[in-house]
Chain A
Amino acid sequence: MIGFASVTLLLLVILFAGLPVAFSLGTTSIFLIYLYELPMKIVANTIFTSLDSFVVIAIPLFVLMSQVLLDGKVGDDLFEVMNAWVRHLPGGLGIATILACAFFAAISGSGAATAATIGMVAYPAMMARGYEKRFILGLLACGGTLGILIPPSIPLIIYGAVTEESIGKLFMAGVIPGVVLTTILVLFAVYRSQRGGYIRMEPASWTERIRVTRRNLPGIALPFLILGGIYTGAFTPTEAAAIGLVYSLAVTMFFYRTLALPDLPRVCLKAVRTSCMIAMIIGGAILFGRVMTLLEIPQKLTGLIIDWKLSVLMFVVAMNVLMLALGCILETVSIILLTMPLVAPILGALGIDPIWYAIVLTVNMEMALVTPPVGMNLYVISGLDKDIHMADVIRGVTPFIILMACFLVLTMLFPPMSTWLPSMMK
């Protein structure tokens, strides 16, 4: 017990001293293996097996697709289309920003990529139209988090890989909550704009709307291709990622002509850093999880929870509080990988629907993306322009965090919002 406590302490020390998460988990695992005389050969074996998975291949493919669309300026086009339709409404640019985020979220699996892609075009546009700066920053940081709730979603792929749930069903579970959260954000943007602080715009003519929409049709078709294919079972999520990638390349290189062949190695290089970072965390966390399982920690933990006779709601609330705390200091991939091997058996024991829990967890992780001090989207947004200060982003995001907390309660109270659509799949 003392040994175990000191190893946990070691993990915290090296983690906060700045050793990357993947290697911190690996190092801690080695100490535990040594301490409890487990076979050392599981180290290479487990890391190797963690990479031997067809499901997780979807991650580098989705990451590369996002990068292609970002460098191919498809975000600008999406924003332009949304703009043409809603800019004359009160808070029109705010609505266009959220809708563009939601749409890009249906192509990308990452919250940071969504915030970066839409932020680059929406921030200057909203600033020029007199919107309040903090409101814009909060809106973009929070709108970007739709990236992980609306499928495809990298956190949901990882959740599926750990719990062996169907990625297709997990993706579909995120659709309705994603639409509801988008609606809530749109309503909030309208409400805020009632208090003034923006310049109203002239409506676009119908000819302009149709012209803009038609010109950007290939980009608009992408989410329908990806999600439609997965929903009908025409292809697996991994294949959908591959097709989406090839399609995005074709569209940006031959249709929009925003990317040229010589750009490709640079685009791929940028994307591979993110995917590799995720793959390494998966390796480290799966090794850590394996050691935990060999030490029977999940079983003991499950036994404890059952002994305490925690109700489902109590357990889920407690988990959410823990996840919110973790979300302040760690990023989403690490949190899911670190906790799910321990939580999954408890879900089974308490009879909790793992698909519903996945969405509750994902909404919580959306908050992790915007809660200081460590929130990936806060950094992305403060990196948009050199005039943006972190303090302003944090202040701007605060009302949105409250809004998202309310939405989190909503997903907890109404499980069918998450589970109905996947139950309709074959």
Chain B
Amino acid sequence: MLGQFRSAVERCNLALGMISGLGVLAMGVILTYEVVCRYFFNAPTIWAQETSTYLYMWTMLAAASYTLQEGKHVHVDLVVERLPGRARRVAEAATSLVGAAFCAIVSVQAYQMIAATVAFGKVSATPLRVPLWLPQSALLMGFALLTFQFAFIAVDRIAEVRETGAKGGERA
């Protein structure tokens, strides 16, 4: 059950990473289109800049969990990599739990922010009048996935620590 949920989240991470990558490409195309319109047709768009900002939020948040899965979030490994294997796994388990807790708090706060936005019907202060819950929900999705991913890493490390502990016990 947990295994199924986990592989679903991990596949979701990869898919979101792929989509985000192409989303950045789309931002480039949109903004180039804007410059072309401005210079060659003397008709700047009203939507290019705003749309690319929303794309930026979505792509960066959607890829956050994938980036964690790939271990690409910058961290200080100066001390950790000098620790013996077991101590390192304990450290990784502990920090992942802290990370999961932080991301859970942000998720809850993001949910409350979106609920307030929907309740007041807030829209962007631009000609597009985009409902603000659209970009805001990226925050909830991104940090919810990060919470799961941190939790998975913690579960893995704890299992490894137990395993080595059990083996050590047998030898003793």
Contacts and interface: CB of A to CB of B under 8 A. Distances in A.
A19 B75 contact: yes
A126 interface: no
A275 B24 contact: yes
A37 to B, nearest CB: 16
A21 B77 CA distance: 11
Contact of B35 (A15, A23, A239, A268): A239
Interface in B21-73: 21-22, 24-25, 27-32, 34-35, 39, 49, 52-53, 56-57, 59-61, 63-64, 66-68, 70, 72-73
Nearest to B75: A20
A16 B79 contact: yes
Nearest to B72: A273
Interface string B122-139: 000000000000011001
B28 A242 contact: yes
B113 interface: yes
A378 B16 CA distance: 31
Given A18-B76, A44-B106, A57-B53, A272 B95 contact: no
A236 B68 CA distance: 32
Contacts of B139: 44, 47-48
Given A242-B32, A269-B17, A269-B21, A27 B78 contact: no
Contacts of B136: 48
A273 B53 contact: no
Interface in B118-168: 135-136, 139
B17 A272 contact: yes
B24 A246 contact: no
B56 A51 contact: yes
A264 B46 CA distance: 29
A31 to B, nearest CB: 10
Nearest to A372: B78
A41 interface: yes
Contact of A269 (B18, B74, B99, B101): B18
A183 B18 CA distance: 41
A26 B20 CA distance: 23
A373 interface: yes
A268 B95 CA distance: 29
B18 A265 contact: yes
Contact of B106 (A47, A54, A374): A47
A175 interface: no
Contacts of A61: 24, 27-28, 31
A112 to B, nearest CB: 11
A241 interface: yes
Which among B20, B39, B56, B106 has the highest number of chain A CB atoms within 10 Å?
Answer: B56
Contact of A64 (B28, B70, B75, B76): B28
B49 A54 contact: yes
Interface string A321-353: 000000001110110000000000000000000
B112 A30 contact: no
Given A51-B57, A64-B24, A20 B32 contact: no
A276 to B, nearest CB: 4
A41 B60 contact: no
Which among A14, A234, A272 has the highest number of chain B CB atoms within 10 Å?
Answer: A272
A268 B22 contact: yes
A277 interface: yes
Contact of A43 (B18, B49, B64, B106): B106
Interface string A285-315: 0000000000000000000000000000000
Given A51-B61, A54-B53, A277 B106 contact: no
Contacts of A16: 76, 78-80
A26 B106 CA distance: 9
A275 B56 CA distance: 10
A264 to B, nearest CB: 7
Given A17-B95, A265-B22, A273-B67, 11 more contacts: A18-B80, A51-B60, A61-B31, A64-B28, A246-B28, A246-B29, A267-B21, A271-B24, A272-B24, A273-B17, A277-B67
Interface of B: 17-18, 20-22, 24-25, 27-32, 34-35, 39, 49, 52-53, 56-57, 59-61, 63-64, 66-68, 70, 72-80, 91-92, 94-96, 98-99, 101-103, 105-106, 109-110, 112-113, 135-136, 139
25 contacts: A17-B91, A18-B79, A19-B96, A19-B98, A20-B73, A20-B74, A40-B105, A43-B106, A47-B106, A51-B57, A52-B53, A60-B59, A60-B60, A61-B31, A239-B32, A246-B28, A264-B25, A265-B18, A269-B18, A271-B21, A272-B21, A272-B67, A274-B72, A276-B72, A280-B73
Interface of A: 14-23, 26-27, 30, 40-41, 43-45, 47-48, 51-54, 56-57, 60-61, 64, 234-235, 238-239, 241-243, 245-246, 264-265, 267-277, 279-281, 329-331, 333-334, 373-374
Q: Which 6 A-B pairs have CB atoms at the shortest separation, nearest pair first?
A: A268-B21, A242-B31, A20-B73, A44-B109, A279-B60, A19-B95
